């Protein structure tokens, strides 16, 4: 239920702001607005302004909206109102009205990011878990436990890294933009060191969790301490206790919980549970214990499980900014997100990025519910990201989108005459086909992820 409510609220807010941008600019340019609708389908609520005559409507299906303006191309217009028709407006006014919707979404994103920056959000510190073998971090000498302090693209001035998510953002940008990232960090022994992470050559064809695994980012550092122990699990049968700190497994030193979880999982790869010799620290004493993980099937692969929470919560920090810094950071983040979204879309078009990067309503609804469950600031961050995506998507030069209409106006400005009705209809049909194909691929990706 939370997922559905969060999804409806998110779409309604994003659509309302987008359409309000068109509406507010149209009114300021002197265009008469006939209807402002949030949602499609049958009307479930609404009212008509006695002053302007605009009908404000809430539709049954909250998956879009529209602003209907007075236009001679759609219906006859009285002579007294021709000056208020959209089609009779100067080119600059029509372009401003069309572009105001996406810009309203980008402005909303800045407002939301600023709010999150002012409120503050608790995030894991940028202390790294043990990287996978042959990953970028492993080949750069990282072993786990390093605390990243500052980062930047190669050759740029270093900037402070406020959290683990901030560091992930640097690596994602580096992989997508084909630029290496230099970092300054505290080693597990407390020495300040620097390294150049060669992320420019990482395959960013799929911008997903696998991308971060190839770079060596499995998650923030978590000590290999056991949490709740299930009564009938392998941990309970081996007499492991909540709070036990795992020091060694089969003679191997344990750096963090990520390493321990992988050792437990890999014990079942052969299809037969393999006993493991554990050394744990319990109330200041070292205890040797034999553990036999139970074998379970996960997506057709046999893995080991011990029936206990493995790993203590990561060290957290409150990331918060002052009034001006919060705004500047929000503008910077909205700009970078917009640029990366456009770059990934461009890479999809030329085949450098996978179509699997497209997401549809099922994935959006899932993330809406998860972010809402995590808290108010997380939901605001999700809304900001979706607002950026909606703004950027609508600026694409597809005829059925705002960007397509701006493309028409650019042609009109360069040639001195508008696009003919025949070509408009042809381009609209082409744009609709492309948009439907994108939506079909996104929906297919959603279903595929759901069935995994």
Distance, C-alpha 30 to centroid of its chain: 38
Question: Exposure of 126 by Cβ count < 10 A (0-12 exposed, 13-18 middle, 19+ buried)?
Answer: buried
Give dist(CA 367, CA 122) in Å, integer.
Answer: 19
CA separation, residue 368 to residues 18, 143, 146, 212, 220 (Å): 19, 35, 32, 22, 23
19 a catalytic residue:
yes
Query: Which of 19, 55, 139, 281 is an active site residue?
Result: 19
Residue with tokens 């297919």: 444
What are the phi and psi torsion angles at 145 (to 5°)? 95, -5
Q: CA 359, 174, 137, 184: dihedral to nearest 10 degrees? A: -130
- Tell me which residues are annotated as active site: 19
């Amino acid at each position: 239920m939370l997922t559905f409510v969060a999804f409806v609220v998110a779409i309604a807010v994003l659509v309302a702001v987008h359409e309000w941008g068109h509406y507010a600019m149209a009114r300021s340019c002197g265009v008469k607005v006939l209807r402002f609708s949030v949602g499609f389908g049958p009307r479930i609520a609404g009212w008509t302004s006695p002053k302007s005559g605009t009908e404000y409507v809430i539709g049954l299906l909250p998956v879009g909206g529209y602003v209907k303006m007075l236009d001679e191309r759609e219906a006859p217009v009285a002579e007294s109102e021709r000056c208020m028709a959209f089609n009779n407006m100067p080119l600059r006014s029509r372009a401003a009205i069309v572009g105001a919707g996406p810009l309203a979404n980008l402005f909303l994103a800045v407002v939301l990011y600023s709010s999150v920056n002012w409120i503050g959000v608790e995030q894991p510190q940028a202390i790294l878990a043990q990287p996978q073998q042959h990953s970028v971090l492993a080949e750069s000498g990282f072993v786990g436990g390093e605390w990243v302090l500052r980062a930047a693209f190669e050759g740029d001035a270093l900037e402070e890294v406020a959290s683990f998510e901030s560091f992930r953002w640097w690596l994602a940008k580096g992989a997508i933009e084909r630029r290496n990232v230099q970092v300054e960090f505290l080693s597990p022994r407390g020495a300040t060191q620097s390294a150049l992470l060669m992320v420019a050559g990482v395959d960013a064809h799929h911008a997903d969790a696998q991308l971060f695994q190839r770079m060596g980012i499995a998650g923030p550092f978590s000590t290999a301490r056991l949490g709740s122990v299930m009564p009938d699990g392998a941990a309970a049968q081996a007499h492991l206790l909540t709070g036990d700190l795992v020091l060694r497994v089969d003679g191997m030193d344990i750096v963090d919980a990520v390493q321990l979880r992988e050792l437990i999982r890999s014990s079942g790869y052969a299809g037969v549970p393999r006993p493991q010799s554990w050394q744990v620290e319990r109330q200041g004493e070292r205890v040797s214990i034999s553990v036999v993980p139970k074998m379970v099937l996960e997506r057709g692969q046999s893995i080991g499980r011990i029936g206990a929470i493995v790993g203590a919560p990561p060290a957290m920090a409150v990331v918060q900014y002052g009034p001006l810094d919060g705004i500047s950071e929000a503008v910077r983040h909205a700009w970078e997100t917009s640029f990366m979204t456009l770059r990934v879309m461009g890479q999809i078009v030329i085949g450098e990025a996978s179509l699997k990067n497209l997401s549809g309503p099922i994935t959006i609804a899932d993330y809406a519910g998860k972010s809402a469950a995590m808290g108010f600031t997380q939901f605001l961050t999700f809304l900001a990201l979706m607002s950026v995506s909606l703004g950027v998507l609508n600026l694409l030069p597809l005829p059925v989108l705002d960007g397509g209409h701006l493309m028409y106006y650019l042609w009109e400005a360069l040639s001195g005459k508008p696009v003919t009705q025949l070509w408009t209809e042809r381009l609209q049909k082409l744009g609709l086909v492309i948009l439907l194909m994108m939506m079909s691929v996104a929906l297919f990706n959603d279903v595929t992820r759901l069935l995994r």
